[in-house]
Amino acid sequence: MLSKTGKDILTGVNSLVNDGIVDPTRLNIGGYSFGGFLTNWLITQTTLFSAAVSGAGASELVSMWGTTDFPTYGASFMCGFPWEVPEIYKKESAMNNLNKAQTPILITTGAKETRVP
């Protein structure tokens, strides 16, 4: 799930900031596919990042499940189908927390993207 992986990432980033290894005013985040999913989710959880780039990253996971060419992966990743665990799909979808996002983000994808349409 995005929340578990995302919380691990935030723990690592916060450790780097606290240890003085990175400048907290110059942190950016980005990723493609699953990295895009995480980027979308992370900017709804923190204002730590100055900018973000999300490539082919789903922001609403029920519609992603219904349009991807590989729906069984989504169901296994989310511990069930959307009608079985709707609360997980809702909690893990960045779309449901967009009101918390303050990070500028560039969202990209390809016209022929089938895995994450």
Task: Dig out the tokens for 62 from the structure.
Answer: 């029920």
Is 0.95 topped by the overall pTM?
no
d(CA 116, CA 9): 22
Say if residue 51 is exposed, middle or buried (CB neighbours under 10 Å; 0-12, 13-18, 19+): middle
Q: Report the distance separating Cα 28 and Cα 90, nearest Å.
A: 26
Local structure of 77: helix, strand or coil: helix
pLDDT digits (tens, 9 = 90+) for 43-96: 999 999 999 999 999 999 999 999 888 888 888 889 999 999 999 999 999 999
